Amino acid sequence: MRRAPFALLLLAGLSLPSLAKADLVYVLNSGDASITVLESTTREEVRRIPILREVHHLLLNPERTELVVGDSAANELLFLNPDTAEIVRRERISNPYHMDYSPDGKYLVITSLRRDQVDIYEAATRTLLARLKVPDKPSHLAFSPDSRMVYVTLQGARRLMAIDLTTRRPTWTTEVGPQPAGVLWHRDRLLVGIMGSDQVAVVNPADGKLERGIQTARGAHTVFASPNGGPLYATSRVDSRLTVLDPETLEVKARWELPGGPDCIAFAPDGKLWVTLRWVARVAVVDPATGEAETIPVGRSPHGVFVQPRQLPLPPAPVPVVEAPATPVMVPGVVPAALR
């Protein structure tokens, strides 16, 4: 009988693998009209969800019950159950490129890169409250923590724009550098990836003053903050590099080569970074302790990525998985060759 506790411990130990995390990783394949769903433990593709045209960004709704995916070219929002990877419903909406909910959950703001518009919706009902015509290529956005302001990069206009959500009008625009892409609110400052340079711009959100630049690598794209105040990670698409920044001082702590055009990052509960590699149809899993990475094939031109914590593996798909091969991406505005 004395051995019973040991036996129980042993049994618990043996059963550990079945309790291992089986997080779901959603990767938006912007180039082949599909969403790849990977299981984080096995690294295997467990679903391939066909969508209509071109998906770029995704996020959880404020209630954290639905994963919202924007299909920009199809003018559609998809709402998925993040636990089961099932599409719950779809809604018509104008050209959703980048989007986010305000921290108070009141607004959903969507940028339309192709139509030079920033749309402010009531989050709960998706009622359009205001549509702002803005200069060339509104790309990414970030909110102030009090949900009063939203900041939008204008990729074709070298600028960052601040929009007051109360008046729904711009309060300032400031020149930040060539082709600004991602923007992040971080400790009372805005960090903007300047894609036409090797800098991340530090901007004062109060007046739009450009305070300084942090050298990362050429093609600086977006900065992502790891959970719980951990390091910041900046992606650079020309030099294909991840730059680790100290969250306090913004000093560069490390530089990791990551070939393939690193773009968006999602943080897994185990601390690993899932990074989409835009030009090589792969997603990288980066160990933040060492910077070492393994890569997994996904669809063409992977962009947005999201990790949903999950304990047990996803059961097999109820219907055959639709394989979506790689796409010849049409040059927009031009008649598809085969259909002329």
Partner 1 sequence: MIEDTYAAFTGWLFEHTLQPVLYATGMMDWAEDLFAWLDFALRGLFGILVVYFVCRPLEAWRPVEPRQDGAAIRTDMVYTFLSRLGVLPLVAFVLLASLQSRWEGWLTEVGVMPPTLEELFPPLRDHPLLALVAYVIVLDFGEYWRHRAQHGFRWWWALHAIHHAQRQMTFWTDDRNHVLDDVLAALWFGGLALLIGVPPGQFPLILLLLRLAESLSHANVRLSYGRVGERLLVSPRFHRLHHGELSAGASGKNYAVLLPIWDWIFGTADFRRDHYPPTGAADAGEAMERGGWLRQQWAGFQRLALTIARRA
| Minimum CB–partner distance for residue 38 and partner 1 (Å) | 15
218 is an interface residue for partner 1 by CB under 8 A: yes
**Sole window of 38-46, 130-138, 224-232, 264-272 interacting with partner 1 (rule: CB under 8 A):** 130-138
Tell me the C-alpha distance between 269 and 271, whole Å. Answer: 5
Q: How many residues bind partner 1 (CB under 8 A)?
A: 65
Contact string 53-92 vs partner 1 (x = CB under 8 A): x-------------------xxxx---------------x
Backbone angles phi, psi at 338, to 5 degrees: -75, -10
Q: Which of 36, 40, 102, 179: binder of partner 1 (CB under 8 A)?
A: 179
Q: Which of 199, 216, 240, 308: binder of partner 1 (CB under 8 A)?
A: 240
Tell me the C-alpha distance between 10 and 110, whole Å. Answer: 52
Name which of 114 and 189 has its Cβ closer to partner 1.
114
> Element (H or E) spanning 153, and its range?
strand 149-154
94 is an interface residue for partner 1 by CB under 8 A: yes
Site for partner 1 in 152-171 (CB under 8 A): 155-156
Tell me the C-alpha distance between 305 and 278, whole Å. Answer: 11
Backbone angles phi, psi at 15, to 5 degrees: -85, -5
Tell me the C-alpha distance between 160 and 332, whole Å. Answer: 26
Site for partner 1 in 247-266 (CB under 8 A): 259-261
Helical spans, DSSP H, in the chain: 4-19
Contacts of 124 (CB under 8 A, 6+ apart): none
Would you call 221 helix, strand, or coil by DSSP? strand
Q: Which of 23, 32, 45, 100: binder of partner 1 (CB under 8 A)?
A: 32
Tell me the C-alpha distance between 44 and 304, whole Å. Answer: 18
| Minimum CB–partner distance for residue 210 and partner 1 (Å) | 18
Name which of 138 and 288 has its Cβ closer to partner 1.
138
| Minimum CB–partner distance for residue 282 and partner 1 (Å) | 7
Please give the span between the terminal C-alpha atoms of the chain, in angstroms, as a whole number. 81
State both tokens at 231: 């390091």
Tell me the C-alpha distance between 109 and 92, whole Å. Answer: 15
State both tokens at 255: 């530089």
126 is an interface residue for partner 1 by CB under 8 A: no
Kindly list the residues in this chain that would bind partner 1 in the complex (CB under 8 A).
Answer: 30-34, 50, 52-53, 73-76, 92, 94-95, 112, 114-117, 131, 133, 136-137, 155-156, 178-179, 195-196, 218-219, 237-238, 240, 259-261, 277-282, 297, 300-301, 322, 324-340
